[in-house]
C-alpha cells in the first residue's frame, strides 16, 4: 500500500469501484497491506484522490470476499487468519479440487477431451507459476498461481466452483505470504508442480491429478507449519 506521506498512483475515473478493489486486493495479497491493519473509507479515498462512494463499495466487495472485516463505526480491518484457519482452508481447497477432478473425469468427454486452446492457456499459467516458485518471486507467484487455479477450475464451466476456489486460494495466500517474506531466500521453497498437474489433466489421468493435488496441500502445510513458529 502506498505510504500515506506521498501521493498514490492515479486511478482512472472509469470503473473506480473495481479498480480500487483490485489495487487493495493486490496490496493484501502481497503482504504490503498487512493482516490486522485498520483503515477508514476516508483514508483510502484521500489516498487515491477519489470520492468516498466507490471506495466504500470496493471495501464492501473485499469484505464479501473474506479479505476484510467490517468494524462497526471504525472502518475496516485486513482479516487475520490463524494457523487453524489456514489448515481448514487448505482442506477445503483440496476437497473441492478432488471433487472437481472426479466430476470432470466422469463427464462423457473425459478429462482428456479438454479443448487444446484451453489447456495451452492453463499450461502457460502453470509454467509461469512454477518458474516464479523456483525463483522465489513471491509477488509474481501469487498472481500466477491464482490465475492458474482460476483457469484450471474454469474448465468445468461452473462459475460458482471457480469463484469458491479462487476465494479459498486467495485467503491461503494472505496467511502464507507474510511467513514466506520472512525467509532470506524463498527460492524453491513453494510447491512448483503446476505443469505436472496440467499434464495429468491433459492425459485424463485422474489418479495423478489427485496425487499432485495432495502433494501440493501436504507440501504447503508442512512449509507453513515450519515457518509459522519462527514468527510467533
- Calculate mean pLDDT across residues 89-104: 88
Query: 8: pLDDT confidence band, cut at 50, 70 and 90?
Result: low
* 153-166 residue pLDDT tens: 998 788 998 999 99
pLDDT at 35: 86
Distance CA 36, CA 46 (A): 21
pLDDT cut 70: percent of the chain above it: 89
Question: For residues 177, 165, 193 and 176, what is the CA-based torsion angle, rounded to 10 degrees?
Answer: 10
* 83-94 residue pLDDT tens: 999 999 999 999
* 70-82 residue pLDDT tens: 987 788 999 999 9
- Calculate mean pLDDT across residues 118-132: 95
Q: What is the DSSP string of 95-144?
A: HHHHHHHHHHHHSTT-GGGS-HHHHHHHHHHHHHHHHHHHHT-HHHHHHH
* 145-192 residue pLDDT tens: 999 999 999 987 889 989 999 999 999 999 999 999 999 999 999 999
The pTM of this model reads 0.83
More confident residue, 53 or 105: 53
- Calculate mean pLDDT across residues 103-129: 79
Domain architecture of the chain: domains with CATH: 16-78 (1.10.10.10), 83-231 (1.20.120.530)
Distance CA 63, CA 40 (A): 13
Q: Which three cell numbers stand for residue 56?
A: 466504500
Q: Which three cell numbers stand for residue 11?
A: 486511478
- 111-114, long-range: CB < 8 A, 24+ apart: 111/201, 111/202, 111/203, 111/204, 111/205, 111/206, 111/209, 112/202, 112/203, 112/204, 113/204, 114/155, 114/201, 114/202
**Bridge partners, 68 (sequence order):** 78
- Calculate mean pLDDT across residues 203-227: 92
With 0-12 CB in 10 A as exposed, 13-18 as middle and 19+ as buried, what is 5?
Answer: exposed
Amino acid at each position: 500500500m502506498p505510504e500515506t506521506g506521498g501521493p498514490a498512483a492515479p486511478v482512472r475515473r472509469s470503473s473506480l469501484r473495481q479498480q480500487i478493489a483490485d489495487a487493495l486486493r493486490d496490496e493484501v495479497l502481497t503482504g504490503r497491506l498487512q493482516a490486522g491493519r485498520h483503515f477508514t473509507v476516508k483514508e483510502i479515498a484521500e489516498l487515491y484522490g477519489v470520492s468516498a462512494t466507490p471506495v466504500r463499495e470496493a471495501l464492501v466487495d473485499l469484505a464479501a470476499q473474506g479479505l476484510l472485516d467490517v468494524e462497526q463505526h471504525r472502518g475496516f480491518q485486513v482479516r487475520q487468519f490463524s494457523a487453524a484457519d489456514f489448515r481448514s482452508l487448505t482442506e477445503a481447497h483440496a476437497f473441492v479440487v478432488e471433487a472437481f477432478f472426479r466430476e470432470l473425469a466422469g463427464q462423457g468427454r473425459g478429462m482428456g477431451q479438454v479443448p487444446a486452446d484451453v489447456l495451452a492457456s492453463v499450461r502457460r499459467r502453470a509454467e509461469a507459476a512454477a518458474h516464479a516458485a523456483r525463483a522465489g518471486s513471491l509477488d509474481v507467484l501469487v498472481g500466477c498461481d491464482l490465475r492458474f487455479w482460476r483457469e484450471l477450475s474454469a474448465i468445468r464451466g461452473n462459475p460458482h466452483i471457480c469463484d469458491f476456489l479462487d476465494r479459498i486460494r486467495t485467503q491461503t495466500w494472505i496467511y502464507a505470504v507474510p511467513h514466506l517474506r520472512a525467509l532470506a531466500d524463498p527460492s524453491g521453497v513453494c510447491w512448483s508442480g503446476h505443469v505436472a498437474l496440467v499434464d495429468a489433466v491433459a492425459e485424463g489421468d485422474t489418479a495423478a491429478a489427485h496425487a499432485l493435488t495432495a502433494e501440493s496441500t501436504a507440501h504447503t502445510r508442512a512449509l507453513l507449519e515450519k515457518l509459522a513458529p519462527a514468527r510467533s
